[in-house]
Structure formats: structure tokens, C-alpha cells
Structure 1
Amino acid sequence: MSQYKVIGVMSGTSLDGIDLAYIHFEKNTHWKFEILVAETIPYSKYMFAKLQEAIAYNDKDLGKFDSGYTEHLAKIISSFIEKHNITNLDAVCSHGHTILHQPEKGITYQIGNQEILAKLIKQKVVCDFRVQDVELGGQGAPLVPIGDELLFSEYDYCLNLGGFANVSFHKEGKRVAYDICPVNIVLNKYAKQLGFDYDDKGKLAKSGEYLLSLGSELNNLPYYKQLPPKSLGLEWVQKEIFPRLETSKRKEIDLLRTFTEHVARQLARTFKIRSKVLVTGGGAYNDYLLKRIQYYKELHLVKPADELIEYKEALIFGFLGVLRLRDEVNCLKSVTGSAKDHSSGKVYNFG
């Protein structure tokens, strides 16, 4: 079989909602795809707050919340299928939502991946893509690079600007990928404090003042000197970023400007001059950030159609699911640092 119709489901660290993409994949000599329909279902204020606080839950409370979130996810997916009259699905391929990610301790936990999901939506489900990689000694992230390799090979780099910035590229015969730095997980927090959901086109940051000593402190964080494979999580941001920003006692607008500049510098140093870079994720709409990246280095930053900017991760988790159904490699040791390339993800049948 070389044609698949799947739904890719993704919830990212920026907590803007659940992304769903109904996709047709086809393989001849190369993989091709078409996003047939896609949408984002925002989180309610209640669910948004619960997802923020879940990192502090004990095992019992987290298990209970996981069950509730799985049921919530099932309703969202079932409504999407019904709304768009989707039939003959090969699978629903769901990332779930990351609550804990501490690969150095052998821990990664995505809620919404319980076996009951398949029965609730009456579809085959492929999910829990990260756990096996961590068990094999890997970072469990990033997982998108196999999609970059097989679906977007015409670009020198694939850059995703979501809660975190992550990059993947081909180097010396293998795929390399890692998290560069936090982005919207920080910017959205301070935009919200100013009364906005996010910093539209970077206009808030642009009007702020750059705080030189704070910027220097951020740029000198040890993570940026580490060699890949490496990845970031909310825990790292809470430990290394927020305390530095808060103790500076500076205005939110200036913190936005300083952190945007910090992101631009970290991104620019990642790329070789005049490279062709595919930019996706919500941060692709941050015109000021993109302008500041190009201030530091001459680059060809390519913004694709809105559909791909917003749903590339859902698309690729759909693709990871297809590769898992084919028992083909969807997780690269060159990217995560695990013991071997492998086909990751749990498959649940509803019958």
C-alpha cells in the first residue's frame, strides 16, 4: 500500500490549542502529501490553566487528568471527523500533549495517549511517539526531522518557531536536529501580561527597549554551548529563563524586545550564510523577529502557505504514524541520540 489517509493531531507547548490536519500521503519514488482540511481548536480557559499547572501534579492527579484529557481529545477528534465527513481513515496519529520531558532522567510523559482513545473515536490510533526513544537512551525529541528529510529535502534547513525553536538539516550524510531556544512559550507570557494573546508581527517587541546586560546573560546560558543532540522543555524555561526576566524588574515591553533579540541572535548563529530556510510555526508571522534574524545574517527565509506554517507539525505527526504503520524508521538516532534508528509509536485498534 502506498496511499494513506490519516489525521495528524498535535498540541504544542505554546498552548494555543489542538491542531488537526486531514492528510493524503502517497509514495511513488518519493513521498508526496496534500493537506485536505485542517483547523485548530483553542483550549478553554479552564483547560489552558489545567495544562499549565499539570507539571506540578503528583502521579495520582496526573493519571486522573490524563484520562480526562484523553476524553477531551476524543471529543475534539470525533467532532472534526463528523464536521468534515471524513471516511475511510487509515489512522489517527496523535502526539498528545507534553507534561513532563526530562530525558536525562529517562522521563517523558505525553497525556492523551491512553488506549481508550481508539475506542472512543472508533478509529485506529498511532500515538505516544516519544517514549520508546527515551527508553533507548535518546532525547525523545525532536521527532519532526524524519518528515523534513523525506518531505522537505529541497531546503538547507527546516526551522519551526513554536513554543520552542527547533531546526533540522542534513550534515555529513545524516540528519541533525535539535531545539535552539525558547520562543513563543516566553513571548506569549509577556504579551498576555500586556493584554494581548501574542505579539502580533512583533510590534510590541519592536517598540520596547533592549536591555543589554539581560540580553548578554541570556546569550551566555550553558545550553547554547552544548552540542546536539539536545532538547528543551518547560522545566528548563521555568528554571533558567523566567527567573532571570522576573528579577530584572523591567517593563514587559522591554523584556519582549530583549527576548526577541535573544531569539534572533540564537537563530542567526545556527545557519550558514545565504542558506535557504523553511520557516513554519506561529513565530513565522513575527515579522520583526524574522527581520532581526536577517540583521545578524544574510539568509533566504522562506515562508510557505499559511496552511503549512500552522499545521506542519500535525502533518508530520500524521506522517510519523504512516511510517509506524509501515514499520519503517520514523525516529533517527542521529537526531535524538538514541541507541539505534527505530519505528516509534504505539498502535491501538478500536475493535
Structure 2
Amino acid sequence: MMLTAIGLMSGTSLDGVDVALIKTDGRRVAELGPAGYRRYTDAERALLRQALGEATQLDRRDARPGCIAEAERAVTIAHAEAVAAFTAQNRIATEKVDIVGFHGQTVLHRPAAKLTVQIGDAQALAKAIHIPVVYDFRAADVAAGGQGAPFVPVYHRALAQSLGREGPVLVVNIGGVSNITYIDGNDTLIACDTGPGNALLDDFVFRTIGKAFDGEGKLAAQGRADETWLAQALQHPFFAKPAPKSLDRNDFAAMAWGQWSAADGAATLTAFTAGAIAAIVPLLPKPPHSVVITGGGARNLTMMRMLRERLAPARVESADALGWSADAMEAQAFGFLAARGLKGLPLSYPATTGVAFPMTGGLLARP
């Protein structure tokens, strides 16, 4: 049975709450509905930053000492307001919504200590919005020894299967770090970080010309990549490691850079991201037939050109060209995961989070 689900996601950037509607049975995506956004206020953001600092002392996932309890109330209210505004603006009757997927705000994630904490009172949210809420998606995976992330790959698989294409599909998300989901039918689902995404390039562009990023890759298009530096950089041992593997945004920040002009540096670091993504292909069971690029990197035309060159003969397309929404994807994913959680279907797998066996997850709060 198809469910109408609303997904809610607030990420580590602390910018606000993404909202998205999706129709799904937890296996297939029948329809992608509208999306919305509720920005955190400056006061809410300051409170969350304070809670992040205090959360480093937590040793129990249900503890809410000090300002963490206050931050949890703020998060809950912000999500309730986000749902209310979204349903009103899109004229969606709440009784027509079957379930809400509520990720909450992560304040601590220490999988090695089997501890992950997302704040937000799901019971209070369910009562405020009059819709059942599925929450606490990551806890079961972490308790079983998994990394508790990434959780979007199972949604990537549903999107990829909706394309109806033959052969493996690779979904590449290029944010600060690049990560991939490899999908081959129902049986093979692999996910991992591949290396730098936009972080190194953005930092270089900001330092050299004072811009936040290389819009559409125009600066890189004027330069020439330093092939000697690239060849050496791609010898980093991370690139030869099999999945699952993960990175921090700044893991490559200490690398020695060449004496480049702004354009040549942008070209080199763009090529580094593309080369790092291409380096995962020999480690996959089979080369992908189709590659879908999402995240900020999909808007970088030079990045897209370099990826097409390095990933040939695979077909390389942006997510937007397929009607997917890069901006709403994580919120959509948690609506999808809520439906899966209701039905007891796995949310994470050995080759996505490193857990020993496929794990279900999520708890249900009723209004």
C-alpha cells in the first residue's frame, strides 16, 4: 500500500529544517511532491551550537542536561512550525498524510562508542501536528556496531530503480566530501565516501580570489590541471581502500599544493575530485552503466565535463535532469525511511554502514 509521507531533515550545517512530501510503499517511489524549508533563527542556531558543545559530555543517548533540553524544545517547535507552514502553503490536509519521518538534530555521533544522539521530542511533535511520527532512525544500527550513516543509499536505490535502466547505477553526491551509492538490482547496495568534493576547491577559490566557490566551474575552465600533482595525489592510500569507508571534510586539507595560478589551481582541484570519484570504479563489483550526479558539484559544468571524460563509457547526468531534487533529497529520504520503518524493512546494510547484517530501525510516536 502506498503511503503519503512527509520527511523532515535538519543537517549538521544548522541552517534549518527541510520538508518534502513523497508517496511510497517503502520499496518504490510513486510520486515526489512539493518541498519546503524553515530557516533556524539566529537565536535558535546559537542555542544549537551551545548544545553541540555541551553534548560532547554525554554518555547516555536519552540524557538532556543543561541547555540540551532547551535546544530540544526549540528543535521540536521549529519542526512543528515547518510542517504547519508546509501543509498550509501546499493545501495539504493533515489527515491525508499517513506518516512523518523525523530525523531530529544530531548533537553527538560517536559510533565507536555505540552512541548517537538526535534531539527533538517526537511524541510532542506528533501531538502538535496530529500525524504519526517515525523517529530515532540511527540508534539500532549504531547499537549493533554500525556507523549509523549513511542512511540515504536505500532511497537512492528506489530512485535508481524508478529509472528502469539496465545494469548498475552509481549515484554520486558531491558536497564538501564526495560519496557514492552503487546499485545493482535488489541485491547489491554499496555506499562510501570517495574523497574530496567541493571543500578543497571552495577553500582554494576563497583564498585566491575571495569568492565562496567556482560558479559553474568557469574559473577551472580557464586553467590547466597539474597532471604531475594529480598523479601523486591520487596515490593517497585512501583511494585504494574498499568500501565502506568515510572521511572528514578536512582530511585532505593538509596536502602540499602546487604553485598554481587561480585558474590552474581550480582546474587541478576540480580534476582531483573527478579523479577520486573515478578511482572507486575499479573497486566496485561491475562498472556502472549510468552515473547520476547530485549535490553542489552537479552545477559545476567543468566538473561534469571531467566526470564524463573519466567515467566513459558510462552515461553521466545531473540529478536535476532526471527530475530529482538535490536540495530536497535528504528530506525525501526520511519520508521514504519512515515508510520502510513502519513496514519493518531494512534501513541499513553491511556495505553501507558496516553493520553485521541488514538492520531495521525507527520508533513510532502517535498523536
TM-score by length of 2: 0.77
Q: How far 1:273 sits from its partner (Å)?
A: 5.6
Structure 2 counterpart of 1:124: 132
SS of 2:328's equivalent? helix
Structure 1 counterpart of 2:345: 328
Structure 2 counterpart of 1:225: 240
Q: 1:143 aligns with which of 126, 151, 158?
A: 151
Q: Give the unaligned 5+ runs of structure 2.
A: 58-65
**Are positions 1:292 and 2:289 aligned together?**
no
CA distance 1:61–1:237, shift in 2 (3 Å) = farther
Q: How far 1:203 sits from its partner (Å)?
A: 2.3
- Structure 1 CA distance for aligned equivalents of residues 288 and 192 of structure 2: 21
Q: 1:175 aligns with which of 189, 209, 217?
A: 189
CA distance 1:191–1:35, shift in 2 (3 Å) = farther
Q: 1:70 aligns with which of 69, 72, 76?
A: 76
Q: 1:104 aligns with which of 96, 106, 112?
A: 112
Q: 1:94 aligns with which of 102, 126, 133?
A: 102
Please provide the CA RMSD for this pair.
3.6
**Are positions 1:38 and 2:38 aligned together?**
no
- Structure 2 CA distance for aligned equivalents of residues 257 and 99 of structure 1: 36
Kept after mapping to 1: 8 A contact 2:170/2:288? no
Kept after mapping to 2: 8 A contact 1:4/1:90? yes
Greater alpha carbon shift after TM alignment, 306-315 vs 135-144 = 306-315
> Larger radius of gyration, structure 1 or 2?
2
Q: 2:273 aligns with which of 245, 259, 263?
A: 263
Q: Give the unaligned 5+ runs of structure 1.
A: none
Kept after mapping to 2: 8 A contact 1:199/1:205? yes
After TM superposition, list the pairs within 5 Å mapping 1:331-346 onto structure 2: 331-346=348-363
CA distance 1:190–1:48, shift in 2 (3 Å) = farther
Q: How far 1:123 sits from its partner (Å)?
A: 2.4
Superposed CA offset, 1:192-240 (max 9, x none): 66555543212244456756787567544443333222233xxx334x2
Q: 1:134 aligns with which of 142, 167, 174?
A: 142
Q: How far 1:319 sits from its partner (Å)?
A: 1.0
Greater alpha carbon shift after TM alignment, 155-164 vs 140-149 = 155-164
The letter of the residue matching 1:241 is: F
**Are positions 1:308 and 2:325 aligned together?**
yes
CA distance 1:204–1:308, shift in 2 (3 Å) = same
CA distance 1:171–1:34, shift in 2 (3 Å) = closer
Greater alpha carbon shift after TM alignment, 247-256 vs 104-113 = 247-256
The letter of the residue matching 2:275 is: R
Structure 1 counterpart of 2:61: none
Q: How far 1:128 sits from its partner (Å)?
A: 2.6
SS of 2:270's equivalent? helix
CA distance 1:50–1:294, shift in 2 (3 Å) = farther
The share of aligned pairs that are identical, in percent, is: 29
Structure 1 counterpart of 2:22: 23
- Structure 2 CA distance for aligned equivalents of residues 188 and 66 of structure 1: 33
Kept after mapping to 1: 8 A contact 2:176/2:249? no
CA distance 1:130–1:250, shift in 2 (3 Å) = farther
TM-score by length of 1: 0.80
Kept after mapping to 1: 8 A contact 2:181/2:189? yes
Superposed CA offset, 1:272-318 (max 9, x none): 66731122233222211111222333131122345433333322221
